[in-house]
Chain A
Amino acid sequence: DTAVSQTPKYLVTQMGNDKSIKCEQNLGHDTMYWYKQDSKKFLKIMFSYNNKELIINETVPNRFSPKSPDKAHLNLHINSLELGDSAVYFCASSQANSWRYFGPGTRLLVL
């Protein structure tokens, strides 16, 4: 059974569009995260969210917004996509301060 799943796996879109990436975890974890992997394979935290608090990395443009309909989901919505948004985005979850389980990643390409 998949622990952390993301959809879609690949996303190709035009500049200026709005898109969402979905993330679901079936581990019962209380915290979920979004990371962006840059060209150097560096994973940068974008958001961490539990049912009490959303923590936003201040370097993330406000075009990016996390939306959590329930504890098992944390979706990433991106407005007005730019070329520089092209990257692989990873969702992850953890229980409190334990290790992260990562999703398979979503490869976003903005044309």
Chain B
Amino acid sequence: EDKVVQSPLSLVVHEGDTVTLNCSYEVTNFRSLLWYKQEKKAPTFLFMLTSSGIEKKSGRLSSILDKKELSSILNITATQTGDSAIYLCAVVYNNNDMRFGAGTRLTVKP
């Protein structure tokens, strides 16, 4: 069965901390892995990863894919309260199938 598993399910940190969110997957014909940030509205796109070992970076956020380990991590450094959200990992496989993980709920306290 195709699946996408995120860990931890929830995380509470203080401002300034660094967090690492994990996403592992088991799918047929992997195409790409996507990270989204979901607050009150629709998920907003963060990164798209297709190649193993190449880090994508945007400000304090970075992500990398490990195809050998079938996983990806999302790092957030110097967290701020505005980073509080649900972070979703999604995997595109086969012919445009897309499966989301359950998400990691991140809470950043002042």
Contact = CB atoms under 8 A, between A and B. Distances in A.
B26 interface: no
Interface residues of B, number: 23
Interface stretch (B11-19, B30-38, B63-71, B74-82): B30-38
A41 B41 CA distance: 12
A45 B31 CA distance: 16
A42 B96 contact: no
A99 B44 CA distance: 10
Contact of A31 (B43, B96, B103): B96
B102 A40 contact: yes
Contacts of B102: 40-42
B88 A104 contact: no
Interface string B84-99: 0010101010011111
A31 B42 CA distance: 18
B46 to A, nearest CB: 9
Contacts of A105: 41-42
Nearest to A40: B102
B48 interface: yes
Contacts of B95: 53, 55
Name which of A42, A101, A104 has the most chain B CB atoms within 10 A of its CB.
A42
Contacts of B43: 43, 90, 102
10 contacts: A41-B38, A41-B103, A43-B43, A45-B97, A48-B97, A55-B95, A90-B42, A97-B32, A97-B92, A97-B96
